[in-house]
Amino acid sequence: MIIPTYDHKTVEVDLPAGTSQSNLLALPALVDPHVHFRVPGGEHKEDWQTGARAAIAGGVTTVFEMPNTNPPTTTADLLHAKKKAIEQQLKTIGIPLHYYLYIGATNDNLTEIEKVKDEIIGIKLFMGSSTGNLLVDKKADQEKIFALAAKLNLPVAVHAESEALIERNKALHADNDSIKVHSLIRNAEVAATAVAQAIELAEQNGTRLYILHTSTAGEVDLIRAAKARGVQVFAEVTPHHLFLDSESYHVLGSRAQMNPPVRRPEDQTALWQGIANGTIDTVGTDHAPHLLSEKALPYPKSPSGVPGIETALPLLLNAYHKGKITLENLVAVISANAKKIFNLPANDDWVIVDLDLTKEVKNENLKTKCVWSPFAGWNLKGWPVVTMLNGKTFYLSS
């Protein structure tokens, strides 16, 4: 069947009998620049077999995998061991997923970064603590990493939260064990302070800077101003920050716990405006699966992070139907911008979506090993029905 593309061309694909043909559209397959597939050390939550199946189900054919595994990916040897494990797992299931790996920055692994400069998509820098034990919180150490990245022409992807302010706020709220305190400990000041410092370091060193999971209006303002000055700064937003807010704790409890945390509705509005005016460049899912039994632990023992690779596209298509995002901007943030920012090779991967298909998000239908979603129970209009990867066609259950 001939399917129209988003830019008024066509793609030919064989569709299984019974597939609705009322409102099909071909979009470039998604590039997800922010996933945690938990190999090595967290395979009970996810691995590259379940992660790849979840990616295909969400129309994703390219992923960038983060280094905060166990052990963290901080040396050439560990990077090569991870790549070997990935290749074995993907071969087993016959999904030739495009993947790229970050190396994690530490206070003393600059030499290791240089060894693998041609094998990585970038350097991941945790300015504030999160899942795992990667942390570089001193400005002098951060500056060395930014300088090296500029020398090697590598982007620095930053988890921008100020560790000093996190620790200050923990002390201020030491007697509060409510899940809602998570958004007070890691408040907007924590994020904006770190983003301002990262932008300063990028500007001084001529480094390409990629701000992960932008979540507040203040960050959007800082990034917009930096772009206007010519700083090479790019911004990512997650689906959970676009679609969940601080009220979500009432329904989800610790299932809404993430770093950075859910924000005010006003911040959410600023993120959507940032997509519309080009301040926000990409949507990265920050797919970070944990088992429900782990998420149910009392705060702060409950881990931060939510799965999201399978639901990102339906959420955005549903937002398109509601007039919150144009189709042009949708394609930009799910695919086109990431390809430009990270200079990815061209491919002919597509996701065929049924714009009229309305379905409920159900945990039992998910491919991720953790088998839950913070969006379970949501009815969304617009779903992927076919994913085309490297000439292989994957038909998705409807």
Active site residues: 286
The three-class DSSP label of residue 361 is coil
Residue 363 CB burial class (10 angstroms; 0-12, 13-18, ≥19): middle
Copy the structure tokens of residue 339: 């390809």
Query: Which are the contacts of 360, defined by CB distance < 8 A and separation ≥ 6?
Result: 377, 378, 379, 380
User: Closest Cα partner for 199 from 254, 127, 136, 257?
Assistant: 127
Strand partners, 125: 158
Copy the structure tokens of residue 72: 């963290």
Instruction: For residues 183 and 263, give the distance between their C-alpha atoms in angstroms, rounded to a whole number.
Output: 7
Give the helix, strand, coil percentages of the chain, each rounded to 5.
40, 20, 40
The dihedral over CA atoms of 305, 310, 314, 315, expressed in degrees to the nearest 10, equals: 0
Instruction: For residues 233 and 223, give the distance between their C-alpha atoms in angstroms, rounded to a whole number.
Output: 7
User: Closest Cα partner for 166 from 190, 182, 188?
Assistant: 190
Copy the structure tokens of residue 93: 């299931």
Instruction: For residues 71 and 83, give the distance between their C-alpha atoms in angstroms, rounded to a whole number.
Output: 14
The three-class DSSP label of residue 56 is helix
- Alpha carbon separation from 98 to 52, 164, 392 (Å, rounded): 10, 37, 13
Copy the structure tokens of residue 197: 């410092």
Beta-carbon-side half-sphere exposure of residue 8 (alpha carbons within 13 Å): 1
Instruction: For residues 79 and 70, give the distance between their C-alpha atoms in angstroms, rounded to a whole number.
Output: 12
H helices present in 62-214, as ranges: 76-93, 110-115, 139-152, 163-172, 181-185, 188-205
Strand partners, 179: none
Instruction: For residues 332 and 55, give the distance between their C-alpha atoms in angstroms, rounded to a whole number.
Output: 19
DSSP state of 133: S
